[in-house]
Amino acid sequence: MIREKMLAAVVVLLSATGVNAQSNCDKPRNDFDGLYCLNKVYLEADRELNENYKKLMAKLDDEGKATLRNTQRTWIEQRNADCSRREDDRFFVNMRCATDTTIDRSNFLQDRYRECVSSGCRNSKL
């Protein structure tokens, strides 16, 4: 729920940036253009993370699925703690941190999937 609210707030901020930022991520004109570009990369990383999670989940036995669900929830909590903060009724998200953390986790899940396919799933590595 918090994640969706944070993304919604980012999307609202990004809607004010205009179309120019869409094609100018190499040299953003201002912080809002930069945020727009960072958000595009984050959204792709998040899409890949979800795809890798689903692929891995499909290969696991019941114990592995439960372990992966729990470790994923713990990872989300840690990512949120590391990459965002709240102050009164405002919150702040470090998009670079969120993106890098999400890419790292996606790569981890991809590696576990690759292991499952090649040599069998090891729940101890989840």
pLDDT reported for residue 22: 52
Q: Where are the domains of the chain?
A: 36-125
Of 93, 92, 114, 12, nearest in space to 46 by CA: 93
pLDDT tier at 17, thresholds 50, 70, 90: very low
pLDDT tier at 24, thresholds 50, 70, 90: confident
- Residue 89's alpha-carbon distances to 4, 12, 35, 75, 92, in angstroms, are 16, 16, 21, 25, 10
Query: How confident is the model over 32-90, as pLDDT tens digits?
Result: 998 899 999 999 999 999 999 999 999 999 999 999 999 999 999 999 999 999 999 99
This model's pTM is above 0.95: no
